[in-house]
Amino acid sequence: MSHFPDLAASPYQIIRELGHNRSGGRVTYLASDTRTQELVVLKQFQFARVDADWSGYKAYEREINVLRQLNHPGIPRYLDSFETPGGFCLVQEYKPAIALSASQSLTPQDVKRVAIELLEILVYLQDRFPPVIHRDIKPENILIGQPDESGHRSVYLVDFGFARIGQGEMTMSSAI
C-alpha cells in the first residue's frame, strides 16, 4: 500500500516525496503529468487534519495568486491546482535542482553566480507593479541546478507561501 495521497481523480501520478513540513500540513512530491509525461512538482496542502488551521489555506491561496502573475526563468511556473479530499494541491514546473541547504561543493565562482542570479530574481520581483516580496528566503528555498555543458548552474527561487504583493504596512515579522 502506497503512503502517497490518492490522486486518482487528477492527471498526476506521484513518483516520490521531495520534502515536507508535516506540522504545517504541506508535502511536496515529484510527479508525472499523465497527459504530457512531463515531470512536475506537486505541493499538497492538507487541511482535513485535527491540528490544521486556516493559515495553511491562506498560504495556499496566496502562493497561487502570486505564482499566476510571475514569468521568470528562475521561478518555476504555476501549472495547475486542484482540490483533494483532505485539502488542495498546487502544481508547478519541475526544475532538476537541489536545495542550496543540501550538502554540495560550490566554488567561489559558483557562489558568486548563485548570488547574482538570486539577486536578478529579486530585482524582477521588486520591479513588478505592485512589487512581490518573497519573505521566506532561506537555503531550502533556493535551488541550484546541475552544471550544463558550459558549466553554468541555474538558480531558482521557490516557495511563495509567505509572499506578499504590494507595499502596504510592513509588520515586524515582514522586516525580520
Measured in whole angstroms, how far is the alpha carbon of residue 38 from the centre of its chain? Answer: 17
Residue 34 CA to residue 97 CA, distance in Å, equals 22
Does the annotation count 136 as an active-site position? Answer: yes
Of the candidates 53, 136, 148, 159, the residue annotated as catalytic is 136
Contacting residues for 148 by C-beta, under 8 A, at least 6 apart: 154
HSE-CB for 121 with a 13 A CA cutoff: 23
Cell of 66: 502570486
Contacting residues for 56 by C-beta, under 8 A, at least 6 apart: 24, 25, 26, 45, 46, 47, 87
Q: Look at phi and psi of residue 75 and say left if phi exceeds 0, alpha if psi is from -120 to 50, else beta.
A: beta
With H, G, I as helix, E, B as strand and everything else as coil, classify residue 12. strand
Residue 94 CA to residue 28 CA, distance in Å, equals 11
Residues serving a catalytic function are 136
